[in-house]
Amino acid sequence: MRVSKTPDRRLRRQIASPLRWQGLRSAVAIGSVIPTLLAEGWREPLVAHGLLMATQILLLLTYTALLYMDQRLLKQTAPHQQAEYLAITRPEWITASVGLLLIWWWPALVTVMLILALTAIVRGYLRLVQTRIPSGLVFIGSFAVFSMIGTVLLKLPRATPPGQEISWLDSAFTIVSAISQTGLVVRPTGEGFERFGQIVILIWIQVGALGVIVFGALLASLFGSGFGLKATQSMAEGTEQGWSGQIMIQRLVTFIIIFTHAVQAVGAAILFFAWPEEWMGMPADMVSVGDRVYHSIYFSVSAFTNAGFVTTDNSLIGLRGHWIPHLVIAPLIILGSIGFPVLRNVWDVLVAKFRHRRLNPNGGLIRINLNTKIIVGATLIAYLIGYVLIVISEYAQTSEPLHLILLDAHFMSVNRTAGFNTIETGEMGRLALLALIFTMFLGGSPVSVAGGIKMMVFAILAFTVWSNIRGQSVTTAFGRTIPDALVRKSATIVVLFLLLLLISTGVLAVSEPDLSLTQVLFEATSACSTVGLSTGITDELSPVGRATILVSMFIGRVGVFALLAALISVRARSRPRIEYATEDVPIY
């Protein structure tokens, strides 16, 4: 139910009070990052560790007290509002409770406060999206600000090994690659950064991934795709600061955050027990349990976010014939790239079958929707295209055993949206490289961490071509008509993406005269599609080449979202329609 724009004083207090305390909690959580940086950013802490520990404890206690004060204030509201708001803050209660139980242990205390800070940042980001500031500008601005902050953090002494200080350009390159979930690197993550620098990169990967998923989910929900009529209406109310809309938005975001971390936790747990006896070239007895946990978490987060950053010096090449890349890493990549709307739809259908229900609370039929059918079908086709072409290329142009070729083709075809390797990409055949360029260009699904033009755009244009071949005047798919507006938007995205790719490739061709066209085209496609695969030339690029890839990664990640937000905002405005006279022109 929409809240009136002129509520009485009591109702205004009911709505504003939780939001006011939420702002204070956010300030406390974000402020807790300062003691962490003072303790971990320098080889010798700038402030006594005991004082920093006491400060973190005080901040955690303050945060918990503010949560409790919110709960007290909520007693003035209606019971259903209390239940909804408590459901939203439950993850914060759980996180704060864990912190209180482990308040004596500095690593746990820092981790808890970082999680609370991340939650505060995401919710603050939501508040900005709901203001009158253009959503595309909010998205670009937030990525730019976080990229600058991360660049500075990687310049701290503890981020890199002694005597290996990173330049400002390379620091910015690494952070943009992380926040855009690309994975292209100018120095190895495992050897070129110390633990502090690696953690900064990991946090920026996670922040960037959540930002992409949340922003995509908001666009999909606000303007009608993938989440149902009720969610769309509630989200629309949220843009006018209504209580129900605000609650629905935060519930959606809370679900995304919980689902993301749950999948990553399961993946890390499997990896922890699945790594072979020798890890990173060292005997198993030389790797501590803590290191094993750390590397398992790093690979799981990097795989689900399709980032491709690794803490080894050879990615997954050492595990080429092992089952980990194919049965753990590959499924994590798929879950991250298939799209939140698809995952949510499949989950709803499975729950409905388990409970023997056919209708949702609104009376609608619970079924596999059109979005899921198109995305799953297009993803499978892209995988098969990549798989078959890579097998043909490797079989004809290399002397590798057939069973390794089949394994490599499987992983690299799935890996078209991430930046891992089971083989050296630069040593693959030309047909395999061409297949990867094409599938990287296609990318992943809407409302996912994957880049590219998106599978839905590819599918819509493919259905349009097929409809034209059949002589149909409209685009149809699975017994449904695709609106012409979506066809035009898809064509716009492809043309602009091709323009970005052409410019990026052209600049690299001029700035890197010693490299072949295949190498620069592959590198540019990987950057624009935020994939992270490379033929091994990234660290050899000139400053101009590195700057070009940096800009391509940034635009490749935020450009499509900004474009969609702009197109949606234009559609949302009520403008008088002007009809012009029709005139045919030759096209062939």
The answer to whether the beta carbons of residues 338 and 450 sit under 8 Å apart is: no
CA angle 150-531-141, nearest 5°?
Answer: 40
Specify the pLDDT at position 573. 52
**Spatial separation of the C-alpha atoms in residues 329 and 407, rounded to whole Å:** 13
Using the Cα atoms of residue 91, residue 93, residue 96 and residue 99 in order, give the sign of their dihedral: negative
CA angle 95-100-101, nearest 5°?
Answer: 100
**Spatial separation of the C-alpha atoms in residues 234 and 385, rounded to whole Å:** 40
Of all helices (H) and strands (E), which one includes residue 441? helix 430-442
**Spatial separation of the C-alpha atoms in residues 76 and 118, rounded to whole Å:** 29
**Spatial separation of the C-alpha atoms in residues 233 and 381, rounded to whole Å:** 34
Specify the pLDDT at position 389. 95
For every residue of 480-505, DSSP letters joined together read EEEPHHHHHHHHHHHHHHHHHHHHHH
Pairing state between β 480-482 and 475-477: antiparallel
Specify the pLDDT at position 526. 95
Question: Structure tokens of 255?
Answer: 């679900």
Burial class of residue 139 in the structure, from the number of CB atoms within 10 Å of its CB (0-12 exposed, 13-18 middle, 19+ buried): buried
The Cα-based distances of 540 to 160, 543, 546 in angstroms read 20, 9, 9
Specify the pLDDT at position 134. 74
Specify the pLDDT at position 119. 82
**11: amino acid identity, one letter:** L
CA angle 426-430-432, nearest 5°?
Answer: 85
Specify the pLDDT at position 142. 86
**Spatial separation of the C-alpha atoms in residues 236 and 249, rounded to whole Å:** 10
Closest among 251, 246, 15, 23 to 131, alpha carbons compared: 246
Per-residue pLDDT of the chain (588 residues; tens, 9 = 90+): 344 444 444 434 444 444 456 778 888 999 999 998 988 888 887 888 889 999 999 999 999 998 888 777 766 666 666 666 777 777 888 889 999 999 889 989 999 998 899 888 877 777 776 677 777 777 888 889 999 999 999 999 999 999 889 999 999 999 999 999 999 999 999 889 999 999 999 999 998 888 888 777 776 665 554 444 334 333 333 333 333 455 556 667 777 888 898 999 999 999 998 888 766 555 555 567 888 889 899 999 999 999 989 988 778 888 888 888 899 999 999 999 998 888 888 888 888 888 877 776 666 677 888 889 999 999 999 999 999 999 999 998 877 889 899 999 999 999 999 989 888 898 888 999 999 999 999 999 988 888 899 999 999 999 999 999 998 889 999 988 998 888 988 898 899 899 999 999 999 999 999 999 999 999 999 999 999 999 989 999 999 999 999 999 999 988 776 766 666 655 555 455 666 777 767 866
Using the Cα atoms of residue 158, residue 160, residue 162 and residue 164 in order, give the sign of their dihedral: negative
The answer to whether the beta carbons of residues 485 and 571 sit under 8 Å apart is: yes
**Spatial separation of the C-alpha atoms in residues 200 and 566, rounded to whole Å:** 32
Residues 487/491/494/496 CA torsion (nearest 10 deg) = -130
Specify the pLDDT at position 220. 66
**Spatial separation of the C-alpha atoms in residues 228 and 235, rounded to whole Å:** 11
Specify the pLDDT at position 500. 93
SS3 3: coil
SS3 156: coil
For every residue of 5-48, DSSP letters joined together read SS--HHHHHHHHHHHHHHHHHHHHHHHTHHHHHHHHSSSS-SS-
